[in-house]
Amino acid sequence: MFILIGCSFILAIGFLVAFIWMVKSGQIDDDYTPSVRILFDDGTLPEKKDL
Amino acid sequence: MIEINKSKTKTSCYHCGDFCDENEILIAEKSFCCNGCKNVFVLLTDNNLTSYYTIEKTPGKSLKQNIGNKFAYLDDPNIQTKIIDYIDAKIARLQFKIPNIHCSSCIYLLENLYKINEGVVAVRVNFLKKNASIVYDINKISLRQLVELLANIGYEPSFNMSDIDSVKPLNPNRKLLFQIGVAGFCFGNIMLVSFPEYFGLDNTTKHYLSPAFGYINLALSIPTFLYSGQDYLIGAFKGLRKKLITIDVPLALGLVVLFIRNFYEILSHTGLGYCDTLAGLIFFLLIGKWFQQKTYDSLSFERDYKSYFPISVVTINNDKTTTIAIDKLKIGDRILIRNNEIIPTDSILLKGKANIDFSFVSGEKEPIAKELGEIIFAGGKQTSGNIELEVKKLTEQSYLTQLWNNDIFAKENNSKVETFQTKVSKYFTFALLAIALSAAVFWAVYDTSKIIHAFTSVLIIACPCALALSSPFALGNAMRNLGRNKFYLKSASVVENIANMNTIVFDKTGTITQSNDSKISFVGDALSEFEKELIFSVTQNSIHPLSKQIAHFLNMNSAIILNDFKEITGKGIQANVAGNNILVGSASFLNIKEEENSLLNTRIYIKINQENKGCFVINHTYRAGLKHVISNLSNKFSLHLLSGDNELEKTYLQTIFPSKSELLFKQNPSDKLLYINTLQGNKNKVMMVGDGLNDAGALKAANVGISLSEDTASFSPSSDVIMDAANFEYLPYYLQYCKNTMKVIYVSFVLSLMYNLIGLSYAVSGTLSPVIAAILMPISSVTVIGFTSISTYLLARKMK
């Protein structure tokens, strides 16, 4: 019983740490640009090879 | 009269979307309005970046202006160190503010900049802040080249004194997010651990689980209380020291009582404690705070004159020109100001033809001609070629910047109104204490064992969580909805200030009139170059504003000397130029039958040698819907107009404004400031609507300052609201929306009081249990949040 509670806590603390890490790394600072960026092609247009 | 068919198939520029005139350039079956746009297209095509044009249509900005050596000052190492964030032997990293970032194509192009120039290592755009952080190879490209590259493709970074002086602050939202994270974590886990107790444990498990769960809860509530809830405790403490009862006081009271009671109950094994209520309360409160803290990163509400001035100026020393930073200017320096540049400091005209446009500083819209040896005040914009000046005062001490020495700018949040929430919390706190004490007295008589229980329960259950949430959510929602309509508030509390106003003061130039001068068109057969020159020569000699506008519109290089010139006031001009008889003026003056007469425009007819040539149509530059705005507002507000301009338009404006409103002209910036103060002295709540630096003092002094901006990315003086000028006609609706939002808050306040009454009935009777508190608190919060969100949303839909 106590082991299960302990496990759930460790899991929850893991999420908390992940959240703090996320905020610190600046992922929530800009919530618009990445949504556009993902739509761009890599830019390296496939070179037409003569087959 | 023959009207030129305006719908003549005009092509729009493939790059910027402007209409192409006779200078149209065709390349790869695409039309461009100017060489600049074409060059960008060619550059992008060469580098395989044509996706720029497919992501958004016509994404570019017109590039008709030439850069020249405008950025020469970037070669100065002193300026470089101020701009560059990090530099080593190989690379440098910096952040540019680029106002032109406006669509997804911009992001695409900027982030692929490395394909155009191999010196660029990486670019990352933050769209909302309109800035780009760039890493570049200092051995391959210099700072100046980098900036010129950006400017050449239409993304000129903006530099000004305040950007360079200021230290970039970290995102203040982070601490709040950590607090929410911790509170959410504790709240969730406390709920998890508390549930078994609420549903009932059997006797065997209860024995050892109950205390364990209690200790876990207690341990979890400590960080919630001390870290996540600290702002409320500190806020209440600070408020009390200033003898102010804010909403923080009853909140902190509830939190402290909860926290102590938890400790007591759990350690003494007398109960479960209210840990979940405590954590939930803090969690919801923080969410509300976060919701209210929306800010517009790309806008700056705190600008002063520093952001208006350029950062550098060209000085002349023994015929050699060097570019230096403005703060390095010394009295006696000789400076060169080119066309369209801003005079950085008070100085004396030494050489050249000075025609200074002070419209942004004084509201006077006609450029002022200055003689050699005259003093030119800082802030004006030169409009006729290069001039040379001698510096007389340092920028910080110049006439314009002295306005900022007024006390108004030293104070923060001056004369702001007490918010509804603070007003209520005062009564609320006293009522709360009274109820708690009477409950304690009551139980002291009947059942002494329940005194503490009843007393603390009242403080816990009446903790005004729902009340504290209604304002942030309603105001935060209102702010977002207004922002969607390009009415950007500095903070959510401005909504409430706006709702309390009873007086509105308008500025004229740039606020109720439009600042661009492109409102002139010529109707009739196309004029030959010679005819244009004739008309230009005549109109240039008149001081009448309409003539000036025509002269400005024609913008010829040379004028012919007049043989005979007669101006008949209110009618027109008769002149003889190189043997040609020219008449310029109203239809009646020229004996022409006017075809349409409209209040919206003025027609100036032209006759050359008795031949009817057509007319110039000058549209009144009043903003669309001005009449409607004024008549709509005049029912609810007393209206005033302050203009830096002369009284020419007074008669027309009197027809628009209600008869009881004050219309004052020739007001300088400090007159405007004083006028606002006088109005406030008469117990008026004043809202100022302005645009330029000349309104800066008035905007700051007013209870609410709204600055109108044609382009929200460009300079606007410090104010509470930045509004897109294009939406000026909707102003009455925005103001009404703010008032309605306050009504929503009143209703939700009643709603939350009802929940409090239910809770209090348990509390005073001494029967409050943790389960009831745990149910009541979230339910009341959710109802209030739901109610305010839905009603503000519905009101916003009505606004459109």
DSSP letters for B192-254 = HHHHHHHH---HHHHHHHHHHHHHHHHHHHHHIIIIITHHHHHHHHHHHHTT---THHHHHHH
d(CA B73, CA B374): 28
Model ipTM value: 0.79
Judging contacts by C-beta atoms under 8 Å, the chain B residues touching residue A5 are 193, 216
Give the model confidence (pLDDT) of B692-725 as tens digits: 777 888 888 888 999 887 765 556 677 888 888 8
pLDDT for the residue numbered B106: 81
Cβ contacts of B338 within 8 Å, gap of 6 or more = B314, B382, B385, B386
Of A12, A23, A41, the CB nearest to B188: A12
Of B104, B181, B216, the CB nearest to A16: B181
- Classify domain B520-619 by CATH number: 3.40.1110.10
Q: How many CB atoms lie within 10 A of CB B406?
A: 16
pLDDT for the residue numbered B400: 67
For the domain made up of B313-409, give the CATH fold.
Answer: 2.70.150
For CATH 2.70.150.10, list the domain ranges present in chain B.
313-409
- Is B638 at the interface with chain A, CB within 8 A? no
pLDDT for the residue numbered B736: 92
Q: Enter the tokens of residue B38.
A: 């074409």
d(CA B470, CA B199): 31
Residue B313 has pLDDT above 70, yes or no: yes
At residue A45 the predicted structure's pLDDT band, cuts being 50, 70 and 90, is very low
Judging contacts by C-beta atoms under 8 Å, the chain A residues touching residue B108 are 40
CA distance A7 to chain B (A): 12
Describe the strand order of the beta sheet including B662-664 as a list of residue ranges: B487-489, B721-724, B704-709, B686-690, B503-507, B638-642, B662-664
pLDDT for the residue numbered B497: 87
Strands B686-690, B503-507: pairing kind:
parallel
At residue B688 the predicted structure's pLDDT band, cuts being 50, 70 and 90, is very high
Architecture (CATH level 2) of domain B475-515+623-739: 3-Layer(aba) Sandwich (3.40)
Of B48, B127, B185, the CB nearest to A12: B185
Cβ contacts of B77 within 8 Å, gap of 6 or more = none
B185/A16 CB distance under 8 A: yes
Describe the strand order of the beta sheet including B580-585 as a list of residue ranges: B520-523, B611-619, B601-608, B580-585, B572-577, B562-568
H/E segment holding residue B357: strand B354-357
- Nearest 5°: phi and psi at B392? -110, -30
Percentage of chain B exceeding pLDDT 90 = 7
Q: Enter the tokens of residue B405.
A: 């020495």
Please identify which residue in the block is written with the tokens 């905007």.
Answer: B699
At residue A51 the predicted structure's pLDDT band, cuts being 50, 70 and 90, is very low
pLDDT for the residue numbered B551: 79
Mutual angle of helices B770-799 and B173-199, in 10-degree steps = 130
Q: What is the three-state SS of B424-489?
A: HHHHHHHHHHHHHHHHHHHHHHHCHHHHHHHHHHHHHHCCCHHHHHHHHHHHHHHHHHHHHCCEEE
Dihedral of CA atoms B538, B540, B545, B546 in degrees, nearest 10, equals: 40
Mean pLDDT of B201-216: 77
Mean pLDDT of B135-152: 86
For CATH 3.30.70.100, list the domain ranges present in chain B.
72-165
A30/B216 CB distance under 8 A: no
Tell me which range, B111-125, B283-297, B600-614, is most confidently predicted by mean pLDDT. B111-125
At residue B380 the predicted structure's pLDDT band, cuts being 50, 70 and 90, is confident
Mean pLDDT of B587-601: 67
Residue B391 has pLDDT above 90, yes or no: no
A33/B177 CB distance under 8 A: no
Q: Are B22 and B78 in contact (CB under 8 A)?
A: no
Class of domain B72-165 as given by CATH? alpha beta
d(CA B605, CA B589): 9
d(CA B393, CA B333): 10
H/E segment holding residue B131: strand B131-137
For CATH 3.40.50.1000, list the domain ranges present in chain B.
475-515+623-739
Measured between alpha carbons, how far is residue B688 from residues B613, B632, B675, B709, B727 in Å?
A: 45, 17, 11, 14, 17
Nearest residue of B to residue A38, measured between CA atoms: B108
- Is B108 at the interface with chain A, CB within 8 A? yes
pLDDT for the residue numbered B182: 92
Residue B394 has pLDDT above 50, yes or no: yes
Of A5, A36, A41, the CB nearest to B107: A36
- Is B773 at the interface with chain A, CB within 8 A? no
Give the model confidence (pLDDT) of B73-121 as tens digits: 778 777 787 778 888 888 888 888 887 787 777 888 888 888 888 888 8
Measured between alpha carbons, how far is residue B471 from residues B254, B296, B431, B496, B700 in Å?
A: 19, 20, 20, 9, 25
* Mean pLDDT across chain B: 80
3-state SS, residue B335: strand
Q: Enter the tokens of residue B253.
A: 């009271």
Longest dimension (CA), chain A: 68
d(CA B746, CA B471): 9
Dihedral of CA atoms B615, B618, B624, B628 in degrees, nearest 10, equals: -80
Nearest residue of A to residue B212, measured between CA atoms: A2
A39/B104 CB distance under 8 A: yes
Q: How many CB atoms lie within 10 A of CB B325?
A: 17
Residue B7 has pLDDT above 50, yes or no: no
pLDDT for the residue numbered B414: 41
Give the model confidence (pLDDT) of B153-175 as tens digits: 878 887 765 655 555 555 567 88
Please identify which residue in the block is written with the tokens 């001039």.
Answer: B387
Judging contacts by C-beta atoms under 8 Å, the chain B residues touching residue A45 are 48
Single out the residue of B325, B402, B339 nearest to residue B163, CA to CA: B325
Residue B212 has pLDDT above 80, yes or no: yes
CA distance A14 to chain B (A): 10
| Residues B3-12: contacts with CB under 8 Å, at least 24 apart | B3/B523, B4/B523, B4/B524, B4/B526, B12/B58
Give the model confidence (pLDDT) of B13-64 as tens digits: 787 777 776 667 777 777 777 777 777 788 788 777 777 787 777 777 666 5
CA distance B122 to chain A (A): 14
Q: Enter the tokens of residue B287.
A: 């969410």
Q: For chains A and B, what is the number of CB pairs under 8 angstroms?
A: 59
Single out the residue of B253, B666, B238, B588 nearest to residue B428, CA to CA: B253
B104/A41 CB distance under 8 A: no
- Is B192 at the interface with chain A, CB within 8 A? yes
pLDDT for the residue numbered B336: 85
Longest dimension (CA), chain B: 118
CA distance B124 to chain A (A): 9
Residue B436 has pLDDT above 80, yes or no: yes
- Is B171 at the interface with chain A, CB within 8 A? yes
For CATH 3.40.1110.10, list the domain ranges present in chain B.
520-619
Q: Are B376 and B348 in contact (CB under 8 A)?
A: yes
Q: Are B337 and B382 in contact (CB under 8 A)?
A: yes
Q: Enter the tokens of residue B687.
A: 């809202």
d(CA B74, CA A22): 37
At residue B504 the predicted structure's pLDDT band, cuts being 50, 70 and 90, is very high
Instruction: Name the more confident of B250 and B586.
Output: B250
Give the model confidence (pLDDT) of B547-558 as tens digits: 777 877 777 777
Nearest residue of B to residue A42, measured between CA atoms: B112
Single out the residue of B126, B129, B13 nearest to residue B60, CA to CA: B13
> Distance from CA of residue A25 to its chain's centroid?
10
d(CA B82, CA B161): 10
B51/A40 CB distance under 8 A: yes
- Is B189 at the interface with chain A, CB within 8 A? yes
Q: What is the CA radius of gyration of chain B?
A: 33
Which of B133, B177, B228 has the highest number of chain A CBs within 10 A, making it the mutation to test binding with A?
A: B177
Judging contacts by C-beta atoms under 8 Å, the chain A residues touching residue B181 are 16, 19-20, 23
Single out the residue of B619, B780, B729 nearest to residue B277, CA to CA: B780
Q: Are B96 and B71 in contact (CB under 8 A)?
A: no
B111/A40 CB distance under 8 A: yes
